Structure 1
Amino acid sequence: MNKLRQIWSNLRSSFWFLPSLMVLGSVVFAAALIEADSAWSDRWLTQWPRLFGVGAEGARQMLSTLAGSMMTVMGVTFSMILVALALASSQYTPRILRNFMRSRVTQVTLGIFAGIFAYCLIVLRTIRGGETEFVPSLAVSFAFFLALGGVGALIFFIHHIASSIQASNIIASIAHETIAAIERLFPEKKAHEPDEDEGQSQVLEALDERTWYSVPAAVSGYIQSVDNDVLLRLARDSKTIVRMERGVGAFVVQNTALASLALTYPPDQEMIAALNKAYSISRHRTAEQDPSFGIRQIVDMALKALSPGINDTSTAVMCVDYLAAILTRLACRQFPPSHRYDGEALRVISIVPTFEGLLAESFDQIRRSAEGNVSIMERILGAIETIASLTVSPCHRRALKEQVQRIAGLADRSIASTHDRAQIKRRMIHVREALEAQLALNAGEERA
């Protein structure tokens, strides 16, 4: 299942798959119209001679012109795409290029132009002149309407390219994909539900006393996803414990430890192959099971915006705003446990994301690059205040307080202006009050 999911993800992000399907559909559609022309052409010419009455030479010229025009337009479209990719890569970060390639608008536009070209070629080869003249009037007339549709697609594509390379649209698209992954992976946290592994009733076994055998990775690459059900079933069938050595999003080198098994004997090749099949490893990361990758992309854009060569504070501020939107969604979610059981028996020790880790991933590097930047510090403090208003977890609040303390230290070191330091301190007072107010509210609810 992981392999099929990986293949489908690669197909979705390719430039050729959807356009190829559209070309195939246009070939089938052209063949269907030609067959309809063969059966009903005389009747149509009698009823609508002005619409369908066209000679063989005129039909050839029109279809040849349309086919050539579509190839020219498709070349221009490819050039626009390459320019947009190069601009986005240099201005923002190379990690967002895959998002451009996954764009349905881009893939459909290429498919429309290639499909019209293939349609015209199929119809063109059926036109015959001379004594046995045959002109598929319906198919030729429909090619004219396809050409008009292609012009509309080109205009819309130009608008799409112009808007898609704007920083706000790129950041919003990444945030939307990340939030969708969060909603799919992390369930809603119920009232008074313990955090992550808190409140776990089972007592962990003496794991250090066991003999662990490492399972080497079959290939090198980034772990895109892990089928946890397969790991649990493998551990249950072998009556062992599977310990993940690399989590989703991590890079693993071939023949290094991917996971470890608690066994009394080394695992055989069949077990090693079965465990490797539970992992999807490829050349790049995806956000399917890795919401930290979406956060990483937005952080990279913020760091590029804060670099001395670009110095675009507004883009960095937008990045912080969308990171706040992602983290507020995470604050209301239940994170998966790191230990999975089959009844009372421990079976899988996973490497799972935590709120504290994702919070640090979001703000640590941006904070280090924001020395002396009052706007970014204030925006991060505002984001922390927003997150604090929605979280009820003591662990989350502790992590937020640590972020406030780090910003306070950064402000004291890097801000020379007394007025700006006072402004940051006033902002921190409001954030601390929000954290304390939430703490008091939770304590009151627990007493009630």
Structure 2
Amino acid sequence: MTGQGRLARVREAVTGALWPLPTAAIVLAVGLGIGLPVLDEVLESGQRPLALVFEGGPSAARGILSTIAGSIISVTTLLFSLTIVTLQLASSQYSPRLLQTFVRDRVVQVCLGVLLGTFVYALVVLRSVRSEDESDDSSFVPRLAVTVALLLSLASVAALVTFLAHQTRQLRVETMMRDVHAEATTTLGRLVGQLAADDQPDAPLPAVPGHARPLCARASGFLVRVEAAPLLETLAGCGAVLRLDRRPGESVVAGTPLAWAWTDDPAAWPPADELEAALARHVVLSFERSPAADPSYGLRKLVDIAARALSPGINDPTTAVHALSHVSALIGQLSSRDTWHRRVTGDDGVVRLLLPSWDHGALLDLAVTQVRSYGRQDTTVVERLFSLLAEAGWRARSAEQRQAVREHCAALTAQSLEEVPAGRTEDDVRRMAAAVERALEGRWEPLRS
């Protein structure tokens, strides 16, 4: 693994965890708790005393620091409890995959860091307070350090208020969908930039030749990303071409084919052991999906929210309709390309690494099929699905995209004619299907009469 690859994995681990900022705050608090009392002693021995700082004696300083530490740890416990409740609610009501969004929330991390840092700082400073009966020297009160503790306690109150206000907003499903949409938009922007920089053609990958040899995975997990540069060096060294068999976000099972490899000479076999070892080093797997290189992950989360909202235990079609609005917006962004595949060329000008990704048809299928099945009896959901297809058809930029929209419109129409939604007629269904077709032709008409 290259240094850049290790750095990327560390960055992904840190940004996807709750502990980094609180840990940094604790370390900083320990440093301040040790350093400020030393600075206090230096300043106290000078000719000019500090102004506008704590002026109480050792007992008052101990009382203030003890009160700050005790109250802050109680508040921190409350905040941790609220965080766990929020995570449990998001997981059970909407989607377990939304937990990633909460864990990466910088506001939660900063608030917890302020509270934990204040608690640790108060404890560390408390050890430096001395009264005359406890030391051969004179009593010592770290006045500057106690003043900083008072300021940190005010910051902790502000962090508590900020946390409660933030969590109140985060518990709203509209906020969750907005955050998922924003995350997916960031991912798409990054992928579009990478594909444009590499001048990647917007076309399907070439087929695997008949003499290709399967390469099996040595570990299991979800495909996160591929470290192309070091893998390309291995392929160039053995004169092989490799095509992955999985898209970003798909599951990889140890012992099953992960890729295909071949050489220009059908009679020559590529070195399977060497290539499988290279795959194990440079294909990044994880126990959970990541938006790092996956254009479908945002859609997956939003469809999960819609599907969960349509379950009998929740029965919230309005949330499903709102989720489909976000899905439609993402489908529009994804229509900028027919495919999201990558071809990586070696220094010799030969394409040696083929990295399949999602195409428009697969993404539209992900967006529509599951919700169409679960929401077939709900009038508002069926109407929103027709609207989504009309919006996707209006923004379709190629014949392949328009054909995918037509296929899903035909499936939705057949399903709706077989089981007409409540309050609608067969003529209403046909009229909505006709509106989708007109959108594909560049003529926009409202679905509702």
- TM-score, normalisation: structure 1: 0.89
2:64 aligned with 1:62? yes
Q: Aligned in 2, Cα 1:368/1:60: closer, same or farther, shift over 3 Å? A: same
Contact 2:417–2:426 (Cα < 8 Å) also in 1: yes
Matches within 5 A, 1:116-131: 116-130=118-132, 131=137
**1:384 and 2:389 matched:** yes
1:241-252 → structure 2 map (5 Å cutoff): 241-252=241-252
Alignment of 1:38-187 (within 5 A): 38-41=41-44, 46=49, 48=51, 51-130=53-132, 131-187=137-193
Question: Which residue does the alignment assign to 1:15?
Answer: 18
Asked if the contact 2:238–2:271 (Cα under 8 Å) also holds between the matched residues in 1, the reply is no
- Residue by residue over 1:200-256, the C-alpha shift from the partner in whole angstroms, topping out at 9 and shown as x without a partner, is 9xxx69821x251x3332221111111233333332232111121222212112232
Q: Whole-Å Cα distance in 2 between the matches of residues 221 and 339 of structure 1? A: 23
CA distance, structure 2, for counterparts of residue 331 and residue 248 of structure 1: 18
Report how far residue 353 of structure 1 moved.
1.0
Kindly indicate whether residue 303 of structure 2 is the aligned counterpart of residue 306 of structure 1.
no
Amino acid at match of 1:215: L
2:418 — aligned with what? 413
Q: 1:375 aligned to 2:361?
A: no
TM normalised by structure 2 equals 0.88
In 2: Cα distance, 1:99 partner to 1:364 partner: 25
Which segments of 5 or more consecutive residues in structure 1 lack a partner in the other structure? 440-448
Decide which of 267, 271, 277 is 1:273's aligned counterpart. Answer: 277
Offset at residue 176 of structure 1 (A):
1.0
TM-aligned CA distance change 1:188 to 1:359, over 3 Å? farther
1:354-377 alpha-carbon deviations (Å, 9 max, x no partner): 011011011110011111212112
State the partner residue of 1:25: 28
CA–CA separation in structure 1 for the residues paired with 2:270 and 2:142: 70
> Match for 1:20: what amino acid?
T
Distance 1:25 1:46, change over 3 A: closer
Change (3 A) 1:286 1:115: same
Cα distance in 2 for partners of 1:240, 1:307 equals: 49
CA apart distance, 1:435: 0.7
After TM superposition, the structure 1 stretch with the greater mean CA deviation from structure 2, 268-277 or 244-253, is 268-277
Q: Residue 354 of structure 1 is aligned with which of 352, 359, 368?
A: 359
Q: In the alignment, residue 292 of structure 1 is paired with which amino acid? A: S
Contact 1:222 1:252 in 2 (8 A): yes
Alpha carbons 1:187, 1:334 under 8 Å: kept? no
* Structure 2 unmatched ranges of 5 or more: 445-449
Q: Percent of pairs identical after alignment?
A: 29
Matched residues in 2 for 1:9 and 1:127: separation? 42
Relative to structure 1, is the Cα distance of residues 189 and 404 closer, same or farther in structure 2, using a 3 angstrom cutoff?
farther
Question: Per the alignment, in what secondary structure is the counterpart of residue 292 of structure 2?
Answer: coil
Higher mean C-alpha deviation, range 368-377 or range 426-435: 426-435
Quick one: distance in 2 between partners of 1:294 and 1:256?
Answer: 27
Equivalent residues of 2:337, 2:360 under 8 A apart: no
The answer as to whether partners of 1:116 and 1:146 remain within 8 angstroms in 2 is: yes
CA shift digits 1:379-426 (9 cap, x unpaired) = 122222222222321111111111111111111011165744433332
What's the counterpart of residue 290 of structure 1?
A: 294
Cα offset, 1:434, TM superposition: 1.4
Is residue 330 of structure 2 the alignment partner of residue 326 of structure 1?
Answer: yes
Contact 1:2–1:280, Cα closer than 8 Å, also in 2: no
Q: Distance in 2 between matches of 1:122 and 1:337?
A: 54
Measured at CA, do residues 419 and 301 of structure 1 come closer, stay the same or move farther in structure 2, by a change above 3 Å? Answer: closer
Number of the residue aligned with 2:321 = 317
Shift of 1:85: 1.0
Shift of 1:304: 0.7
Change (3 A) 1:340 1:374: same
- The root-mean-square deviation of aligned C-alpha atoms, in Å, is 2.6
